[in-house]
Structure 1
Amino acid sequence: MKNLIYALFILIAYCTKAQTAEFPIINKPIDYSPERARLSLEYLKDHYNIIQNKPTISPKIIVLHYTAGGTVETNYKYFNKTHLESARGTLKKQSTLNVSSQYIVDRDGTIYQLMEANMFARHTIGLNYRAIGIENIGSRNQPLTEKQTLANAQLIRALTKKYNIEYLIGHSEYGIFRDSKLWKETDPNYFTIKDDPGKDFMKKVRILVTDLHLKDRP
């Protein structure tokens, strides 16, 4: 009974904060050069059998991540590079296009937008063509903060109002889509195990956006 009361208290507290919390969204665009656009279109064609003239997506899924370390600035500099570094051999065999995301959330809750939400970014195998990525500064040893929880909820609400979002998942959960119609990866062996952004973080964010009825599986 005490556990139930505590859980309800936490839910009320988080929801109250979510109603009043406002975090700035700062434009910090990465270089979406003609070369990045070309590689994005090539990725769409090679991995999803999608042929189009512009590297845009119709967002349906929001995927939450953590950066596994660094700061906003170091991760921005990394994402800003068009080509993937040689050290990431598994990913580079599939494409030289660098990884990126549409947003980064700092530990104080500040939200940085790296590109338009409907522009293609490489962040989640099999789902990039329909997914918006939200990176959070943190790691397994640097748990994500309460302010990041609230900022993610705020951003999810804003994106859900603008796009036809149906799903909210953590990067670690993306494998559940492998047997669904949404999964379009052409190479059945291209898959990596992820643990970000953590079960606790996903649970807290989902509590704050329960009323949106976003699904966590196909």
Structure 2
Amino acid sequence: MKPCHLIALLLLTLTACSVKRTIVDMPIVFDEQRKELTLAYLKERYGLQQREPLIDPKMIVLHWTVIPTLERSFAAFREPTLPNWRPDIKGVSGLNVSSQFLVDRDGTIYRLMPETTMARHVIGLNHTAIGVENVGGGDELPLTKAQLKSNIWLVRHLKKKYNIEYVIGHHEYTLFEDHPLWLEVDDGYRTVKSDPGDEFMAKVRRAVADLNFKPLPK
């Protein structure tokens, strides 16, 4: 790494750690229907029979929404069921996608649901992963420096609270297919993801290198 890049990264890390941040609660709908769908997801996709939809966080997964505004991103996660879900189709979960956190483009961090309640945001790993969605993303609306700083801060915050072992990008989730944490029962259930990208993840990982997260599986 060039010295100028190292200095810039150090300044970014110090800024992310030193700026006082708060988490704003903005809950999605988590009613009895969503609870039952979450419990069914845990049972049918992971073989986990639970009375409450709780997780033991070992991983943080960073995402982007590719939706340009906070309001529209929140609306995508708010309701308990997927849009146009047909409950008569066997084997398809109607549980809507969501995440525990949503980071706006100005860096504001919103908590959508309790950190230890399961959200549907990553195949095979929802039972152990805290999801962090970022508003925007992609070539047309790259994630902002403010979002990067907030992601770094949030990773550090969550590491203090839980025994987090991995920080990954959504695009890296299939690397865990043969890992003990992987529980998806359907070998054909996979999607190709690009978020939040190698560059964003490299910046986050360099900024939290002192936390000694485990490396990605080979």
Match of 1:212 in 2: 211
For residues 7-46 of structure 1, the aligned pairs below 5 Å read 7-46=5-44
Q: Look up the equivalent residue of 2:206 and give its one-letter code.
A: I
Q: Look up the equivalent residue of 1:41 and give its one-letter code.
A: L
Change (3 A) 1:195 1:60: same
Query: Percent of pairs identical after alignment?
Result: 47
Q: Look up the equivalent residue of 2:185 and give its one-letter code.
A: T
Query: TM-score, normalised on structure 1?
Result: 0.93
SS in 2 for 1:66: coil
Match of 1:5 in 2: 3
Match of 1:131 in 2: 129
Tell whether the 8 Å contact from 2:10 to 2:207 is kept in structure 1 after alignment: no
Match of 1:149 in 2: 148
Q: Deviation of residue 110 (structure 1)? A: 0.2
Query: TM-score, normalised on structure 2?
Result: 0.93
SS in 2 for 1:151: helix
Q: Deviation of residue 85 (structure 1)? A: 1.6
Q: Look up the equivalent residue of 2:110 and give its one-letter code.
A: Y
SS in 2 for 1:200: helix
2:72 is the counterpart of 1:66: no
Change (3 A) 1:80 1:46: same
Q: Look up the equivalent residue of 1:175 and give its one-letter code.
A: T
Tell whether the 8 Å contact from 1:43 to 1:95 is kept in structure 2 after alignment: yes
Q: Deviation digits for residues 89-114 of structure 1, max 9, x if unmatched?
A: xxx96311000000000011100000
Q: Look up the equivalent residue of 1:17 and give its one-letter code.
A: T
Q: Deviation of residue 86 (structure 1)? A: 2.9
Q: Deviation of residue 19 (structure 1)? A: 2.9
SS in 2 for 1:9: helix
SS in 2 for 1:112: strand
Q: Look up the equivalent residue of 1:120 and give its one-letter code.
A: M
For 1:189 and 1:33, locate their aligned partners in 2 and report how far apart those are by CA, in whole Å: 30
For 1:156 and 1:68, locate their aligned partners in 2 and report how far apart those are by CA, in whole Å: 21
Match of 1:171 in 2: 170
Q: Which runs of 5+ in 2 are unaligned?
A: none
Q: Which runs of 5+ in 1 are unaligned?
A: none
For 2:201 and 2:132, locate their aligned partners in 1 and report how far apart those are by CA, in whole Å: 12
Tell whether the 8 Å contact from 1:102 to 1:134 is kept in structure 2 after alignment: yes
Match of 2:194 in 1: 195
Q: Deviation of residue 5 (structure 1)? A: 1.6
For 1:53 and 1:20, locate their aligned partners in 2 and report how far apart those are by CA, in whole Å: 40
SS in 1 for 2:20: coil
Match of 2:108 in 1: 110
- Worse-matched range after superposition: 93-102 or 119-128: 93-102
Q: Deviation of residue 6 (structure 1)? A: 2.1
Tell whether the 8 Å contact from 2:176 to 2:182 is kept in structure 1 after alignment: yes
For 2:116 and 2:22, locate their aligned partners in 1 and report how far apart those are by CA, in whole Å: 20
Two-structure CA RMSD over aligned residues (Å):
1.7
For 2:196 and 2:175, locate their aligned partners in 1 and report how far apart those are by CA, in whole Å: 16
Q: Look up the equivalent residue of 1:205 and give its one-letter code.
A: V
